[in-house]
Chains A and B, each alone.
Chain A
Amino acid sequence: MGDYTYQEIFSVITMQSFAGVSLLCIYVLMGLGLYIVFGQMGVINMAHAEFLVMGSYTMCLVSRMVTDAVPGLLDFYFLLAIPLAFAIPFGVGYLVEMSLISRLYKRPLDTLLATWGLSLVLQQCFRTFIGAREMSATLPEWMMGSWSPADGIDIPLSGLILMVLTILLTAGLVIFQRKTSWGLKMRATTQNREMSGALGINTKMTDRLTFAIACGISGVAGAFFTTIASTSPTAGTNYIVDAFLVLVVGGLGSLFGLFISGGFLALLSSILEFFMTGSLAKVWLYLIIFAVLMKFTKGLFSEKIRT
């Protein structure tokens, strides 16, 4: 290491660890919606990734519209795009729960299949109505730059925003679940549907809103994915396997576990990708996950109290 000054080594480490943290944020954002739907409600939503993509598309389309109509406002289109990226998946999720999921709560493996059918339909909708080509959002000026607190350290602003968003969304979710009466109803319903119904909670409505909120959160996460990658109708299939794995490794129903497993996987994949090509790193990552899950078949931090 003689050729490098400590300054340089320090900056490389900082930037690399920041890249790792960004990956962690991506994993957590992917898993956040699933954490509610799968971890808490016990519904396997194979169309989860399509809700992410839906958010991404909203972002892209809004940015395109703003660029076409009022280019002057490009700096502020986030204010419109983020609520929309929440609202559209929220609405679709609401409808999906009403028509599909609500009939299948007793048959988890069947929700898996039905939502796979749904994801096929949604993908085709994207392809037919929006277009099969890849899309990306035009980022406003203030997101393009990077922040350099010291010499040789460049931290991209979009990464920082991703981080802040992850923290905000997660904190919001925790506060919503733990501090509001609505969150209490939600937790009660997901833990024991019959008992909650007997206690006077409108479980049907709670389930519906919980599912819709989870979809909305996925949409917001997807909207932010456009800042790092482009979107295509089948982009979701890249996310879905990883998203489920993150959740399973963390242990279903544990937000803390989601963070830890996201960090674990981010660390592993960045180390592995340093040594080998992308696809082989993926193989080793999966193999390590399988090995870990052989020991901890319930995930690293599964919630012990379940009905």
Chain B
Amino acid sequence: MKSKVDNSSPFVYFYEKIIGGRSGLVCLITLSLLLFIVLPLSLNTFRLNLTGKYLSYAFVAMGLVMCWGYGGVLSLGQGLFFGIGGYCMAMFLKLEASDPESTKIQTTPGIPDFMDWNQVTELPWFWYPFKSLPLTLILILCLPTIVAFCMSFFYFKGRVGPVVFAILTQSMVACVWYLIVGNQGYFGGINGMTDLKTLNGWDIRTESAQVILYFVCVALLFLCLFFCRYILASRYGRVLVAQRDREQRVQFSGYNISNFKIFIFCAAAFVSGIGGAMFTLQVGFMSPNLIGVVPSIDMVIFTAVGGRLSLYGAAYGALLISFAKTALSEANADLWIFFYGSLFIIIVMLLPKGLAGLYTDHIKPRFLAWYYAKKGKPASGKEEGSSMPIESSPKLEEAEK
């Protein structure tokens, strides 16, 4: 962003914009070293599987970085999109696990067991697409985006404020939670979809499968990272940040800001859906309690802790908090919630940019100053990365006009 980019060369464009220059390259290499080499070598399969599960939250956190950190659209309902992706995958796996052979003790073989328990004798129509893998994959990618579009279109066109939108997304998650819980025959109810076994004949419960799935998850994470960086590096991303900081000024400059908001909300949903599908594959079940109001806010916490302006921070935040949660809540569940709540307050009050902000604003400048002082060179080159100001998110009154 600091230098003029020669758009004629795709490589230079890729290096400068998508990777983010030298400092971005350092972040990228660090993260990929950690995820591709350090963690797989140091953890056993169980822990690696757990890491993969946490990484699927990183997708959601990344989506939130885009729509909350850069777009100023806080969504408390990312669990919904995570859930749509996850449920699409789960429905496919469930159908595969309940072939007529293995469900022959049921009154109507060939349908998932929870349907049988709830006197649903025929596969509901919306389950049919999930009989084929390609269609499922397409749905995993499209459905969250479509739902997000339908949800946001009217609200952003009607210029709903960011706060009200956050509350609306939260209610939507609550609504879907009630929908799933109320329809036990169609969605498995509160128990969710369990006993998922194979993906197109490939047993996902074996250790080798879990390792492979972990690497698939990491690879997808990097793909999504590039996708997000591409959006943010484009001209579109600049307008997005501009409308976050000075909504009215951008509007009066002739931009239709509602379209920008809708787009970024859909993009975030798209990324979150992929994360949900990876979650189901690695964990082997999906339940409404994984996507309800509280988990959705947890996902915002991952983002806030990692840094709402840093896509890498999102991954670190999801990993760190989830690991801390597992470790501490096993030791002392009460203490963990105290710690968690206070951590959240502290991050919001003192570190609005999260850990990434701690790094770029405090550690890195000091380290560079120390380094250059030692070498006898002047400290130069203000760093890019997450250095966009965020303290000026528009006031409620302003935003509501």
The chain A residues found within 8 Å of chain B, CB to CB, are: 42, 44, 100, 103-104, 106-110, 112-114, 116-121, 123-124, 127-128, 237, 241, 244-245, 248, 252, 277-280, 282-283, 286-287, 289-290, 293-294, 297-298, 306-307
Contacts and interface: CB of A to CB of B under 8 A. Distances in A.
Contacts of A106: 391, 393, 395
Interface in B358-401: 391, 393, 395-397, 400-401
22 contacts: A42-B163, A42-B395, A106-B391, A108-B393, A109-B68, A109-B393, A112-B76, A117-B340, A117-B344, A120-B340, A120-B341, A124-B337, A128-B334, A241-B293, A252-B164, A277-B182, A280-B179, A286-B178, A297-B155, A297-B160, A298-B400, A306-B401
A117 to B, nearest CB: 3
Contact of A120 (B163, B174, B337): B337
Interface string B163-177: 110111011101100
Given A124-B337, A283-B178, A306-B397, A294 B345 contact: no
Interface residues of B, number: 50
A290 B160 CA distance: 12
Given A124-B334, A297-B158, A114 B178 contact: no
Interface string B13-36: 000000000000000000000000
A307 B294 CA distance: 34
Nearest to A191: B397
Contacts of B297: 116
A103 B349 contact: yes
A182 B206 CA distance: 68
Nearest to B179: A283
Nearest to A117: B344
B140 interface: no
Given A248-B164, A279-B182, A290 B342 contact: no
Contacts of A277: 182
Contacts of A289: 171
Interface in B257-316: 293-294, 297, 300-301, 304
A117 B342 contact: yes
A112 B163 contact: yes
A293 B165 CA distance: 11
Contacts of B349: 100, 103-104, 114
A7 B301 CA distance: 57
Given A124-B338, A241-B171, A297-B159, A42 B397 contact: yes
Contact of A237 (B293, B301, B337, B391): B293
A295 B171 CA distance: 17
A121 B159 contact: no
A286 to B, nearest CB: 4
A165 B289 CA distance: 36
Nearest to B340: A120
Contact of A286 (B158, B164, B174, B293): B174
B252 to A, nearest CB: 19
Contacts, number: 138
A293 B293 CA distance: 20
A290 B151 CA distance: 9
Contact of B400 (A118, A127, A294, A306): A306
A29 B334 CA distance: 31
A108 B396 contact: yes
A114 B345 contact: yes
B344 A114 contact: yes
A282 B171 contact: no
Contact of B175 (A110, A123, A282): A282
Nearest to A119: B341
B334 A118 contact: no
A121 B342 contact: yes
Contacts of A113: 300-301, 304, 344, 348
Contacts of A42: 163, 395-397
A44 B340 CA distance: 20
Contacts of A280: 178-179, 182-183
A295 to B, nearest CB: 8
A108 B334 contact: no
A286 B175 contact: yes
Contacts of B343: 117
Contacts of B304: 113
B74 interface: yes
Contacts of A120: 337, 340-341, 344
